[in-house]
Structure 1
Amino acid sequence: MLLTSCILLLCTGLLDVSAAPQQVPFQAPAVAKPRKLHGRFLHITDMHPDPWYHQKTSEATACHRKKGKKKKNKAGYYGLPYSDCDSPFRLTNFTLDFIEKKWASEIDFVIWTGDNARHDNDRKLPRTPNEIYDLNRAVATKMASVFTSRGIPVVPSLGNNDVWPHNIMIPGPNSITNEFASIWKTFIPFPYLQIFQRGAYYAVEVVPDSLAIISLNTMYFYDSNKAVGGCQFKDRDDAGNLQFDWFEVQLKGFRARGMQVWITGHVPPSPGNYFPECYVRYVELALRFQDTIVGHLYGHMNADHFFFLEADDLELRDPPAAMGKEALFDTLIADFRAMPKAKNINLDNYAVVNVAPAVVPNPYLPGFRVFSYNATEGATSLGRKHGHPRGGGKNKEKQCKLDEYRETWKCKLNESWHSDPDAPSRSNQLWTPLGYAQYYIPHLEEGNKSHPPSFKLEYVTYGKGALEGKDDVYPVPLKNLPSRIKKRQTPYKLEDLTVGSWVALARKMGNSTKLGSFFKTYMYMT
């Protein structure tokens, strides 16, 4: 029932655009000729379709029953924005149909970072494993019809609401890894199937021998999952440690082959999300392989933002005092403001994490983003909370002899780092991320049966001049741009998405009320 309610007819057609180099996706259905790269990809996350959603019901019942008394808490035809309700299938289908029409012929691959089942927010209608799997199967079938059928690789990740109970996943192999191996059989390369069944992580070469995506199972790092050990150094068989061991081997292998890699998953790597020891291992690998990793893309937070992984996170420090809850925006701006002066920043010590907005209008508005990257051969360069304590780290050599620190990852990770100012993560060349365009539905509540809502361009990271294109190459196709670009849609004016560009933007935000206000507006979609 859920499957048939989610799938719509596939629009056919394949646009052959001249670009370089060629792309033959692994395990994709046969197409007439190898696809050319467009230099763009889609990041979509947190759809949360809800088969029990009913129009005009009350937000207090998760939009499942009882008539809403006021317009602001009454379920709309396409969803209820700024609410605790999940997505009607009408919204998820509308979103994917819009992307199919406007973007499927313009992108090279899809990063899809999880949560394709409803939240467990209705005690009178609890979720079941079968419902969760049915919802994921329905969305996966739709994704395959829109993208995989065109030869476009799709790389999904497991979300914390894709398991039952939510947030809890025991070490694999288990029923969850086995079920998703079946649900995602179209997307998982056969050589990774066995490792996927062990832990629900894998890699895909979206441009063979050149560009790969590593999809991590963040459930084994997420500190809300009490079924795992939290990557303790002594527990080498912990599910998180086993995944990191595999992750390190993948990075070494891709680096040895001269490839570049995107890292993706559901829950972003931050001190407030990951077990402390898992966070240390992630930061160390992110910085050690900065010359191989072009970026980190995540979902889960349902709020558009970016933040940094820093070398200071690997220093030994006393545990922080208990902190009150702070708004994410305030925490990030304070973090940006505390960054060193430009002349004192060593870019080897930073990695950037981008978190995309959700499709579900809970708690903001539906959104997705399309990245552009340099696909031109021979291109040349042109309790805990989030936050980074800086300076004043303890003497590692001395402290690591103490029992308190001896058996921790910070005292055991001593590999040489691979950073390079000329790597794609640091300078504009082949595979360097150049920017993204973000789309949203600003007036979701106005959509009805006869007048559907509209996706609009919310903002781009590019300057206005870049949207005019050069040599017939546009970071955003003209058909997907409004007739007039407003100033509020181009405040960042980034030339690219290298580490240095993000660090410079963060420093400006920390010292500019105006730029910070744009960041806040986009984060909360106000």
Structure 2
Amino acid sequence: MIPASMQARCTPVSENRYLPSKVPKYKRMMSKCGTVDFAAIGCSVCKVVVSGLQNLVRKKSTQEDVVIFATEICKVFRIEDSRVCDSITVQFKDELFGVAERLSLTPAQACGILIGTNCGTPDDPNVMWNVTMPNTPKPPVTPPTPPKSGALKLRMLHLTDIHLDPAYATGANTDCGEPLCCRKPDGIAPSTKDGAGKWGSHATCDTPFITLDSLFAHLSSIQDQFDYVIFTGDLPPHNIWNQSRTDQLTSLQTYTKLFKKYLPKKIVFNALGNHESAPVNSFPPDFIKDNQSISWLYEALADSWGTWLPKTARQDILRGAFYSVSPSPGFRVISLNMNFCNNGNWWLLINTTDPNGQLQWLITELQKAEDNNEKVHMIGHIFPGSSDCLKAWSWNYFKIVNRYESTIAGQFFGHSHSDFYEVMYDNVNFTRPISVVYIPGSVTTFTNMNPGFRIYELDGFYNGSSWAALNFQNYFLNLTDVNVSNKPNWELEYDAKADFNLTNLYPQEWDNLINRMKSDDNLFQKFYRYYMKSAPAAKCTGDCKKNLLCDLRTGRSHDPSLCANI
């Protein structure tokens, strides 16, 4: 049972410090009760859950007992309404039970990993593990230089976070009190203004098929404006309490068919999102076998991604949904499975050390690329500086980027739904910008945003190319307009160099932009408007502004020292 002292009503606090409007409850990482610090409450709940699950395992309880316990936790702490609580605990019972029966950490240690060291400091030295770097010395760093006049260029389309919702319904309730609204089960809204728009809604709603189909039709009409595509994950909708493996595979099949229909001649490089599994965030490492294994998804990914990748990539995709391919001489794309850094992936509590050996594999691939004078684009879903990314994984990745800064020409991630970036700095004194992580806005409207996509202009396709991003343009669909006109117009939102007055897109220039926005509030508010994908939003001031500027400097997670000068 849950201690009576903890059965308090809590006012939810959004994990996103910059969204002025409501955020779905399942996104709420912690709560705030009165004047009590919300981090302490989140920590207490976490410890109750871990302790309760471990007690159930020690008593040799059944999975049904786990469901009853987890459902009670969900309802007592008002994490969701009863309908969602009853369903979501069934979704997660295999993972909860499977992790609890293998977990050697104490509740404080486990929650210290999941929430932060304010919740408990893990004694296990493997929690802050280190990858092994090669003995090959780091080559001298050559400052980036613009390509010569007339040099060949490429253009790359970047899509991320589609979250197609087959159950989206025009006129449905946009404020249903659950993690995802605008759906058939939510019923018709009490008034027209509260109903879901035909093309999407500025609410806790995902992408209707008509909007996604319109996007692909538009991309087909402008396909001469980009040479290839990257997609950085998240296909299914946010109804995480009611999903099956069949649902997730259907999302993957729909996505693959859209590309084959509208862009059959384009190569697509994919990365795995955290929503592709059932349940969400559940990506067991390779030591988890039998019916709890994730092989069902990796096999489907290998088939889908194999539409565009060489057969040599299949083995690594089956191993861990990551791969390394060279589509042209001097250039390589490395796709990472960022669920191996995801703090929502509870399987990692069993052993957080370099799941499936992915980072050690990455070092080997980057060393080969360096030896062969290749430039590399890194793609993935959860961006490395995200608070969702486990500290040890993120810090090791940061160290790898530092070692191979002359080889890594670009980093492209998703997950945020908002449009922003992260600057990575040298790990000597953390002042020299060495790399930029690009995070464009999502296709989905979730939450309170317009749909969008990005096209980069790259230096490329000639001997000695830097393969660096030279500029990019963001495009969006104005939901307010299209829901009135019924005529979708995917229009230019902004041009990076022109709208932010950038000389180039090198790391130093993005660092300079952070400093400029500190003192120029008009410039910052323009940046924030694009961060919100030009959807209606209040101004971002005070702590909102400070926190967002801080995140632009935070290329590795859980390191507040990077923001000392913000």
TM-score range with shorter-chain normalisation? 0.5 to 0.7
- Residue 346 of structure 1: which of 406, 417, 432 is its match? 432
* Alignment partner of 1:358 is 2:366: no
Deviations 1:460-507 (A, max 9, x none): 1123xxxxxxxxxxxxxxxxxxxxxxxxxx2x1223211122122222
Structure 1 unaligned regions, length at least 5: 1-18, 22-36, 316-339, 380-428, 464-489
Deviations 1:235-291 (A, max 9, x none): 4xx425x00011111111111111111111111111512111101111011111110
Shift of 1:376: 7.0
Shift of 1:445: 5.8
Contact residue 424 and residue 435 of structure 2 kept, 8 A: yes
Shift of 1:224: 1.0
CA distance in 2 between partners of 1:230 and 1:279 (Å): 18
CA distance in 2 between partners of 1:255 and 1:49 (Å): 39
* Alignment partner of 1:205 is 2:350: no
* Alignment partner of 1:111 is 2:230: yes
CA distance in 2 between partners of 1:128 and 1:376 (Å): 42
Contact residue 434 and residue 495 of structure 1 kept, 8 A: no
Query: What residue identity is the alignment partner of 1:256?
Result: D
- Residue 452 of structure 1: which of 470, 476, 487 is its match? 487
Shift of 1:72: 4.4
Shift of 1:451: 2.8
Shift of 1:444: 4.5
Shift of 1:183: 2.4
* Alignment partner of 1:250 is 2:365: yes
Query: What residue identity is the alignment partner of 1:372?
Result: E
Deviations 1:288-328 (A, max 9, x none): 1110111211111100001223345x89xxxxxxxxxxxxx
Aligned to 2:529: 521
Shift of 1:49: 0.8
* Alignment partner of 1:92 is 2:212: yes
CA distance in 2 between partners of 1:246 and 1:178 (Å): 20
CA distance in 1 between partners of 2:350 and 2:411 (Å): 21
CA distance in 2 between partners of 1:74 and 1:271 (Å): 33
CA distance in 1 between partners of 2:420 and 2:390 (Å): 21
CA distance in 2 between partners of 1:189 and 1:275 (Å): 31
CA distance in 2 between partners of 1:168 and 1:377 (Å): 41
Query: What residue identity is the alignment partner of 1:515?
Result: L
* Alignment partner of 1:239 is 2:355: yes
- Residue 367 of structure 1: which of 452, 458, 465 is its match? 452
CA distance in 2 between partners of 1:378 and 1:186 (Å): 28
Shift of 1:38: 5.0
- Residue 191 of structure 1: which of 295, 308, 312 is its match? 312
CA distance in 2 between partners of 1:445 and 1:224 (Å): 37
Two-structure CA RMSD over aligned residues (Å): 2.4
Q: 1:378 to 1:191 in 2, by over 3 A?
A: closer
- Residue 220 of structure 1: which of 327, 340, 344 is its match? 340
CA distance in 2 between partners of 1:188 and 1:51 (Å): 28
- Residue 48 of structure 1: which of 163, 170, 180 is its match? 163
- Residue 153 of structure 1: which of 246, 263, 267 is its match? 267
Relative to the length of structure 1, the TM-score reads: 0.67
CA distance in 2 between partners of 1:183 and 1:374 (Å): 29
* Alignment partner of 1:128 is 2:244: yes
CA distance in 2 between partners of 1:307 and 1:493 (Å): 18
Contact residue 73 and residue 83 of structure 1 kept, 8 A: no
Query: What residue identity is the alignment partner of 2:362?
Result: F
Q: 1:214 to 1:194 in 2, by over 3 A?
A: same
Shift of 1:351: 2.2
Q: 1:231 to 1:255 in 2, by over 3 A?
A: farther
CA distance in 2 between partners of 1:38 and 1:105 (Å): 13
Q: In structure 1, the residue corresponding to 2:158 is in which secondary structure? A: strand
Shift of 1:99: 1.1
Shift of 1:189: 2.0
Q: In structure 2, the residue corresponding to 1:227 is in which secondary structure? A: helix
Aligned to 1:441: 477
State how many pairs are aligned.
372
Q: Percent identity?
A: 23
Q: 1:266 to 1:72 in 2, by over 3 A?
A: farther
Query: What residue identity is the alignment partner of 1:493?
Result: N
Query: What residue identity is the alignment partner of 1:163?
Result: S
Deviations 1:361-396 (A, max 9, x none): 1111100010001237478xxxxxxxxxxxxxxxxx
Relative to the length of structure 2, the TM-score reads: 0.62
* Alignment partner of 1:299 is 2:414: yes
Shift of 1:510: 2.1
**Runs of 4+ residues over 4 Å off in structure 1:** 229-232, 376-379
Query: What residue identity is the alignment partner of 2:471?
Result: G
Aligned to 2:388: 273
* Alignment partner of 1:461 is 2:461: no
Aligned to 2:503: 495
Contact residue 497 and residue 505 of structure 2 kept, 8 A: no
Contact residue 43 and residue 110 of structure 1 kept, 8 A: yes
Contact residue 409 and residue 466 of structure 2 kept, 8 A: no
- Residue 176 of structure 1: which of 297, 304, 309 is its match? 297
Deviations 1:332-352 (A, max 9, x none): xxxxxxxx9xxxx434xx321
Deviations 1:408-431 (A, max 9, x none): xxxxxxxxxxxxxxxxxxxxx642
Q: 1:299 to 1:73 in 2, by over 3 A?
A: farther
Q: 1:361 to 1:230 in 2, by over 3 A?
A: farther
CA distance in 2 between partners of 1:498 and 1:231 (Å): 37
Query: What residue identity is the alignment partner of 2:432?
Result: N
* Alignment partner of 1:512 is 2:512: no
Q: In structure 2, the residue corresponding to 1:440 is in which secondary structure? A: strand
CA distance in 2 between partners of 1:513 and 1:20 (Å): 37
Aligned to 1:326: none
Contact residue 218 and residue 265 of structure 1 kept, 8 A: yes
Contact residue 160 and residue 414 of structure 2 kept, 8 A: yes
Aligned to 2:198: 77
Q: In structure 2, the residue corresponding to 1:296 is in which secondary structure? A: strand
Shift of 1:146: 3.0
Q: Larger RCO: Structure 1 or Structure 2 (Cα < 8 Å, ≥ 6 residues apart)?
A: 1
